[in-house]
Chain A
């Protein structure tokens, strides 16, 4: 069974450009999360989808970030326009829908974004 896959693995863009990150969760996982880790800092929550609906987007830093999850399958995270402080590793994770919090999430390998 395929795990969580993210594309691209690396992206280097100039300040002001647009970048779109993609995440394909494990098939059947209704929960999809986006996280970001800036070098040396904690992994910070960005947002949470349940199927195609945004359940919690309290971690999105500003309106330059737009996440979508078409049909409750894959998800995209667009940064437009990118700023230097957006650099970091963006992780996607998925988990089955559960009524309790005891299910671990499965992570992708991350996309390393560098804005120059």
Chain B
């Protein structure tokens, strides 16, 4: 079985500071990892994915994520947070099954 853990329900960060949203996973075989963002009253939007290759993946809106196989983690990062980044972030993993498994989401709040 595959699973995702997002240990933080909420992350608070000041605008201009770096942000990290944590994600760890469990899966059989090679993982395919995804980050999605949900803005208020909107659907989930794809941010970035790791399939293979470079462990640092760059995505939309200046976000990036680092795949760490030994720690089974795929933390989302951004060097300088914006107030407009405030949203709900979901990590997902897909292994042998074509069905992605999602975490419970982390609410990111960026304070002006």
Q: A residues engaging B (CB < 8 A)?
A: 3-4, 6, 31, 33, 35, 37, 40-45, 48, 55-56, 91, 93, 101-102, 104-110
Q: How many angstroms from the CA of A43 to the CA of B41 in the assembled complex?
A: 16
Closest to B52 in A: A102
List, in ascending order, chain B residues with CB within 8 A of A37's CB.
105
- Count: A-B pairs, CB below 8 Å: 57
> How extensive is the interface on chain B, given as a class?
20 to 34
Q: Which of B16-61 contact A (CB under 8 A)?
A: 32, 34, 36, 41-46, 49, 51
Q: B residues engaging A (CB < 8 A)?
A: 4, 9, 32, 34, 36, 41-46, 49, 51, 90, 94-105
Closest to A109 in B: B43
Q: How many angstroms from the CA of A109 to the CA of B42 in the assembled complex?
A: 5
- The answer to whether A107 and B102 touch across the interface, beta carbons within 8 angstroms, is no
